[in-house]
Structure 1
Amino acid sequence: SGAFKPDALVLGAFQMMDGFPFPAEGERLQRLQRARQLTDEQDPSVKVHVELASFANSEFMKELYDTGMLTRVDSLGMNEQELTTFTDWLSKSPTSDGSLIRASDSRPKVRNVLDALRNLWKLIEDANEGLNTTRKVTRIHVHTLAFQAVMIKTGAWNRTAEAMSKASLTAFRHVCGFATNEDIDLNKGKVLLFDTFVDSEDEELAQRRDVVKTRFHNGVVCWDDTRDSDSSEKVTMCLSPNIICTDPVATIAAGDNISGAAVAVQI
């Protein structure tokens, strides 16, 4: 039989290398370069998703950046802490050796997350400007306690609304410990997202949008978020409320499961 040909390549757990005492100098970078080589070997039609994690070492962040694992892939996944850390580090400059932000709001407002998403999108675009790369970020997925949010290049990914619903349900199942084929118990869940939300701190750009909380098969709202009317590249944002588990069983690897489930829907 022929070699396995995936539809997507999902990479994560890089945090295990952050602070690990590798026996040989430069070994960590070599391993990152091997991961980079793995992505380069994939056909351009294969989507490459990288899941971020909590990093404490700015030198390691720079190594990830230099190998292209943070900017020259198709998709990124992260929580609100990682969004803050990565955006802050990238805004300082890719050569920054400054410390990484260690804490952020654990229950951020929707508008703050969406503005941070827009900012990160622009920072990545700027970082890749002039580079000859076969891949560019066309999708950023942020998972928080209260909601899922995603920004995509319009048309680059399929079934985005369905993916956000799947991410929300996966978060609930994983944290509450429900098996994939097991009925969920909504008595163990609650919703924190309000009926409406404002999508930006910028009063001139902000719009109030309605979110259906009680009918979760319709509980996703998507919109055209192209801010530059002259831009040839359109972007779409989607947001979905989470069913939050009130009786948690497992939180480790929640982000990997959430992001992986969403990517699987979109390939």
Structure 2
Amino acid sequence: MFSKAQLLSFIFAIVLAITVFYIRSNSKYQVVERLKSVLQGLLRAESKVPEQHRTKVAVGFGGCYDAFLPALDAFNALNISATGSRVHHDLVNNAEELEQLFNYFFHHGAAAERYVSNKEFFQEVISMTQRYENTRWEVGGNAPVMAKRLALEGSEVLLGAQRSPNVVFGEHVTGIGHQDADDVHIIFEYDKRERWGNLTAPRANRLIIHNDQFNPMLNMLEEFAIELKKFHPKLFVLGGLQMMDNFPFADGVRENRLNALEKFLKDMAPSTLTHFEMASFTEESLLKGLIAKVLPYAESLGMNEQELPNLLAVLNNKPAQLVADSNPRVATTLDEIRELFTAVDKLGGSRKLTRVHVHTLAYQAIVTVKGSKWTNTMSATAKASLVANRHVCGNTSINLDNARLILDESFSSSRTKGSERIHVEDNRPVSCWEEGAKLFCVAPNLVCTDIYQTAGGGDNISGAGLSLQIK
């Protein structure tokens, strides 16, 4: 027989268990319902733009053949042991430096791309990828990936990249010329909470290494300029310039190629909009060269949460910022976008910056200048969010069983004291508001939890956003 105290304790335990179960079940139900509402709201926003005829877009420069494989399996196959040593290297010479560089970015969950100066070591890595049975090979490079996305979304694309044995382009994409060998990129991918020695990844991401010989030279630039004048595009998208980062150019060669690029941009028809897609740069001299010779001709800039503060640092004459917060607050990103507009405006370029798109793990932020040629900012922000999930999950449809929301139900519009707090409406999840001459739009991401591929995410997201903003 139970005593009265024991019986009361038993009843209390049962009631408590039922209450906890109810709260958890109700909370899970609310999360699922919010996901459904946000997805439907994003789909409605994306579909507000009617289907358009094929718009001409030009994209440059370069292409490669990408090998995708799990980072930790690859390191084991290379007989690389976890040391926990986190050291940044501008370029890679051997297995020890590769592991230290990987640790540095793995610890921060930050994407990075670095040149391998030792050709023999790079060939060892390629040989390993060819032996590893789960290596996945695809056409890659910023320009081909953005070109493919823009073609999928309805554009006719002229691509400033050369075909090579394994680099071929799909429907509605026309390349320039041919080369006899592939530039190969090795993409080491890892998932959130993966452990490497005593390190744990805070988010899914990748480290890319390459030993490119063709892409850094922009060797199709002059031929592409001739074809461009015949093509008459509505938009020119520039990317892939990180291939010039820490590349061993002969004296004066990189400066000459940047001068040629500047002339190319100067000669661009005024009717053609221009977009520059940033990347992971470490060499301050190159970034300063791009600030002087590319940014003055960019009407639109695209970048992630790591690349934005890095660019701002160099614009403000500070050292390059190799890593930043992998999940920044919306207010922080928006303030940095405001600062970027001001800094670029001071460069006094021949084209005015009228659009900035920052893509992060948790959200998309697109800011456009009212009265500019960019249209459909709200729908473009929604589409960018949806494509983030579609690309990373590797599926054109979105499975909410493999999605989660990181963005809170409200956010501050600025870090400034007294700034407005914006509430995210689940059924209308793209928050847009005006500040003077600018339109701000922020959309939550349905973050993919069953990852197929992180590499190329930014290129697909940026391409998707641009596809709805050109008439």
- TM-score band (shorter)? 0.7 to 0.9
Partner of 2:13: none
1:118 to 338, 341, 351: 338
Partner of 2:421: 208
Residue 80, structure 1, aligned to residue 310, structure 2:
no
2:441 to 224, 233, 238: 238
In structure 2, what is the Cα distance between the partners aligned to 1:203 and 1:258? Answer: 32
The count of corresponding residues between Structure 1 and Structure 2 is 241
In structure 2, what is the Cα distance between the partners aligned to 1:246 and 1:225? Answer: 35
Partner of 1:95: none
Partner of 2:265: 39
Secondary structure of 1:9's counterpart equals: strand
In structure 1, what is the Cα distance between the partners aligned to 2:378 and 2:320? Answer: 33
Secondary structure of 1:3's counterpart equals: helix
Displacement of 1:201 in angstroms is 1.1
Instruction: Calculate the TM-score normalised by the size of structure 2.
Output: 0.49
1:188 to 394, 402, 419: 402
Partner of 2:388: 171
What does 1:61-80 align with in structure 2 at a 5 Å threshold?
A: 61-67=287-293, 69-80=294-305
| Aligned residues: CA RMSD | 1.5
Kept in 2: contact 1:161–1:222 (CA 8 A): yes
Q: Identity of paired residues, percent?
A: 40
Q: Which amino acid aligns with 1:207?
A: E
* Stretches of structure 1 lacking an aligned partner (at least 5 in a row): 93-97, 227-233
In structure 2, what is the Cα distance between the partners aligned to 1:191 and 1:37? Answer: 44
Displacement of 1:108 in angstroms is 0.5
Kept in 2: contact 1:57–1:99 (CA 8 A): no
Instruction: Calculate the TM-score normalised by the size of structure 1.
Output: 0.86
Partner of 1:259: 462
Secondary structure of 2:342's counterpart equals: helix
Partner of 2:321: 101
In structure 2, what is the Cα distance between the partners aligned to 1:144 and 1:252? Answer: 14
Residue 9, structure 1, aligned to residue 211, structure 2:
no
Name whichever structure is richer in helix by fraction: 2
Residue 223, structure 1, aligned to residue 433, structure 2:
yes
Secondary structure of 2:319's counterpart equals: coil
Q: Which amino acid aligns with 1:170?
A: V
Q: Which amino acid aligns with 2:308?
A: L
Runs of 4+ aligned structure 1 residues displaced above 4 Å come to none
In structure 2, what is the Cα distance between the partners aligned to 1:53 and 1:38? Answer: 20
Displacement of 1:91 in angstroms is 1.6
Secondary structure of 2:468's counterpart equals: helix
In structure 2, what is the Cα distance between the partners aligned to 1:183 and 1:254? Answer: 16
Kept in 1: contact 2:368–2:440 (CA 8 A): yes
> Could you say which structure has the larger radius of gyration?
2
Kept in 2: contact 1:18–1:56 (CA 8 A): yes
Secondary structure of 2:346's counterpart equals: helix
In structure 2, what is the Cα distance between the partners aligned to 1:70 and 1:174? Answer: 28
In structure 2, what is the Cα distance between the partners aligned to 1:35 and 1:185? Answer: 43
